[in-house]
Amino acid sequence: MTNTEIRPFRIDVPQSDLDDLHRRLDATRWPDELPGVGWTRGVPLGYLRELAHHWRHEYDWRAQEKLLGDLPQHVTEIDGATVHFVHVRSPEQGALPLLLTHGWPGSIVEFLDVIGPLTDPAAHGGDPADAFHVVIPSLPGFGFSGPTRDAGWDTRRITRAWAELMARLGYERYGAQGGDFGALVSPDLGRVDGEHVAGVHVNAATVGFIPFGGVDEDTLTDVEKARWVRQQRYLDDGNAYFQLQATRPQTIAYALTDSPVAQLAWIVEKFKEWTHPVDALPEAAVDRDRMLTNVMLYWLTGTAGSAARIYHETMHASEWPYRTDVPTGVAAFAEDIAIRRFAEETNTITHWSDFDTGGHFAAMEVPDLLVGDVREFFRGLR
């Protein structure tokens, strides 16, 4: 018999876990480094040592725990997995339910700055008619959802779980938004649960929104060509993490679960490479402590390995995107690679915004721009 109970969840990390983290940080065995190579070989030694020192001596988890803990949270069991989620209802009676899905190496922490403006626009200088009830799950295998317990948790299975979650919450009509893996799951909701999905909005979109194989560069606009070049640079020099997590996630899990500095380096490299501007330190785009809180959700829950498995499961999945008629909106930020003409092959694009700022973690980097675009897209779909 399926257990459909929704239970309250409270974040309460034992002090012993924080003491263990500090002990491991103090005992870090640091590697050597070639002089003058900067970020070309990965995260520089000097930068990571300073960031780890801040994590150990200045970062305050208890303050961040309270910030997260002030949000109403729950857990439920779906298809054999624990699903943790934040659920914040709007004070506005006619608010539209909105399901927000993070990706890797993200978490629910990504959305902290957009929850207030989305749920209570009137309190943030907006129109009450733009209000949403927000549901923010932790992907199975990530953060407080805890490790997955069986194989097969690809994005399509996650999509079906999200449809069940929204039904379990009593939402018969809702919108979906997400970036990275969230930009795979959200469009899939339009395919799997289209009769209940009012619209889909994505950022940091890849599969289903970019070309596969060669393109005739002479036909591309300057903006499209820049995104195509960025995609090729990623494939040539930026996707080693992808290949490792898609082929040997268990191997990398040992290092990431045993060493907090390894976990920090593995994630902070992506914040450096995917935030805007790409040639600046990640702190230029994202608050340092907020970035560390995101890392903490992987470290404290021991989910680095199970989160990595989403790459293996999805790359070995048999189901891939097919066309959806659900209205779809795209926010393409400065470091994104989505190209409209290719997105239109499998999506019904009714809204497209190009931005010259912001990056992969838009909800953290440029929350006002993301909120504004989400509001604009859904206005005609309520």
> How many angstroms separate the first and last alpha carbons of the chain?
36
Of residues 138, 200, 201, 133, the one with CA closest to residue 171:
133
What gap in Å lies between CA 280 and CA 299, rounded to an integer?
Answer: 26
Edge-to-edge strand list for the sheet holding 132-137: 6-8, 73-78, 81-88, 132-137, 96-101, 174-179, 197-203, 327-332, 348-354
360 is catalytic: yes
**Cβ contact 326:202 at 8 Å:** no
DSSP one-letter code for 139: P
Alpha carbon dihedral 365, 366, 367, 371, in 10-degree steps, equals -140
Identify the helix (H) or strand (E) that includes residue 50. Answer: helix 45-57
d(CA 208, CA 12) in angstroms, rounded, equals: 39
Q: Is there a contact between 142 and 82 (Cβ–Cβ < 8 Å)? A: no
The conformation of residue 351, written as its DSSP 8-state character, comes to E
- Which listed residue (130, 311, 336, 373) is catalytic? 311
**Contact (CB, 8 A) for 101 and 182:** yes
DSSP 8-state code for residue 277: S
What whole-number distance in Å separates Cα of residue 175 and Cα of residue 177?
A: 7
Amino acid at residue number 324: T
Alpha carbon of 379 to those of 4, 129, 204, 256: distances in Å?
Answer: 33, 8, 22, 43
Q: Which one is catalytic: 120, 180, 336, 373?
A: 180
Residue entry with tokens 């070639």: 34
Q: What is the largest CA-CA distance in the chain?
A: 61
The first and second tokens of residue 249, run together, are 């996630």
Query: Which one is catalytic: 102, 133, 201, 360?
Result: 360
Catalytic residues, which ones? 180, 311, 360
